[in-house]
Every structure is written in C-alpha cells, then in structure tokens.
C-alpha cells in the first residue's frame, strides 16, 4: 500500500474535484473535502451547516474555527492512518499553521501539496459551466467534462445541477477571495519544499498524468 498525505490546492474552477477523484482512486486514500462536509451539514440542517451556508452563499470563506474543527475530527478517523487527500483545506496561512499543529499531534507529515494553476479568465468560464450531481456530488462541466447523458450523472444517474454560487458574480468574488487569502499558501508550502505546480489548462487526463509523475508513486 502506498502511504500518501496530500493537499490539493487551486483556485475555484481549476478542476480540483475531478483530479481529487482520480487521486483517491489510484492511491486508495480517503478524500477529505471540506466542501462536501459543509454541503452534507447544510443538507441535514445542522448548526454548522446553517452557519456555513451564510458564508458559502455569498462566495466567502467559512471562518477558520468552523473549518478547523471539522477537519480535525476527520483526521482522527482510522482510514486516515494510511494517508489522505485534503481538498479545500487549508485555505489560509492561519489554517495551514493550525493544520501543522494537528498533524504533529497525530505524528503525521505531509508528503506533497499539489497546486493546479489556471488563469482567471479560464476559471470564470469553467465555474459557470460546472455541474454537480445533487445525489453523489460527482463533478462535471458542460464543455470540458460532460456527462454521457445530458443532466444525468454517470455514476449514480442522479440529476446534475448548477450550484447557486456558480454565477459570474459569485465566481468573480470567490476568485478575489482566493487571490487575497489562499494564494499565499503557495509560498508557504514552496518554502517547505513540498509544493508541486501543475498546469491545469491541459486536458483532464494530461493533468492527472502530470500529477502522478510529479508524485513519483506510480
């Protein structure tokens, strides 16, 4: 078994969701997505979900205290002992510092941070065309990664929908927030010597090939 502890970085619409599915399937590690966690809580109407929804609907980042708490609990579960892929966390340097402390407490060490790079113009086009399965959460794009049958999920045959926050206005806001708060993470992890930059403008399959080659765990 290949033990990998990874973080997946990239601005909204960079294709992290698609690549996350490929990574966890190839390396048999759990996918820890704060976005999925928040959506689950929102659907179930939990206190965390209600609080998180207020921020997500505005295209803002969920506050650190809410995010760190849910990630911390997830990392203590047994399936994370053999590795994991963190997707959507950390999003700020403060969160990265908190994650470092939590990982030390668990005697874990990050192997690599994968950063998918895409231009702002391409990001807007990608995000507006994104579609999500309302049942299983699988991600598609009407131009770049369409489902075999229009509006139907390939995985579970659920209905594909456009998220309410995938509008031009909200996407632009998300990109601004990312550039301001999340992009400094690139420098943070580059200084640690574990950052891998991947050209996200390529074909989806080529992006994944580059990720696998860069990890050196084929």
Return the active site residues. Answer: 16, 91, 130, 163, 174
What is the token pair recorded at 7? 């973080």
Q: Which among 18, 24, 21 has a CA at the least distance from the CA of 6?
A: 24
Q: Are 69 and 63 in contact (CB under 8 A)?
A: no
Q: How far apart are CA 118 and CA 177, in angstroms?
A: 16
Q: How far apart are CA 67 and CA 189, in angstroms?
A: 20
Backbone phi and psi for residue 87, each to the nearest 5 degrees, phi listed first: -125, 115
**Helix 93-105 vs helix 184-191: angle between axes, to the nearest 10 degrees?**
40
Q: How far apart are CA 83 and CA 98, in angstroms?
A: 19
Q: Which among 103, 110, 123 has a CA at the least distance from the CA of 196?
A: 110
What is the token pair recorded at 114? 């994968």
DSSP state of 80: G
- Label residues 74-83 b or e (16+ Cβ within 10 Å = b): bbeeeebeeb
The 10 Å Cβ neighbour count of residue 130 is 23
């Amino acid at each position: 078994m290949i033990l990998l502890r990874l973080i997946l970085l990239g601005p909204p619409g960079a294709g992290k969701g698609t690549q996350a599915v490929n990574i966890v399937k190839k390396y048999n590690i759990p996918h820890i997505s704060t976005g999925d966690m928040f959506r689950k809580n929102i659907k179930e109407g939990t206190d965390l979900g209600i609080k998180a929804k207020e921020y997500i609907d505005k295209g803002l980042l969920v506050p650190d205290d809410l995010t760190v708490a849910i990630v911390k609990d997830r990392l203590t579960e047994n399936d994370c002992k053999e590795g994991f892929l963190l997707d959507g966390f950390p999003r700020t340097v403060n969160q990265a510092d908190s994650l470092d402390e939590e990982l030390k407490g668990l005697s874990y060490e990050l192997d690599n941070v994968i950063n998918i790079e895409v231009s702002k113009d391409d990001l807007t086009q990608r995000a507006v065309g994104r579609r999500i399965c309302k049942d299983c959460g699988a991600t598609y794009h009407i131009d770049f990664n369409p489902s075999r049958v229009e509006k139907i999920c390939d995985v579970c045959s659920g209905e594909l929908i456009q998220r309410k926050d995938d509008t031009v206005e909200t996407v632009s806001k998300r990109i601004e927030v990312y550039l301001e708060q999340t992009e400094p993470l690139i420098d943070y992890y580059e200084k640690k010597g574990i950052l891998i930059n991947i050209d996200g403008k390529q074909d989806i399959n080529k992006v994944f090939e580059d990720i696998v080659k860069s990890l050196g765990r084929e």
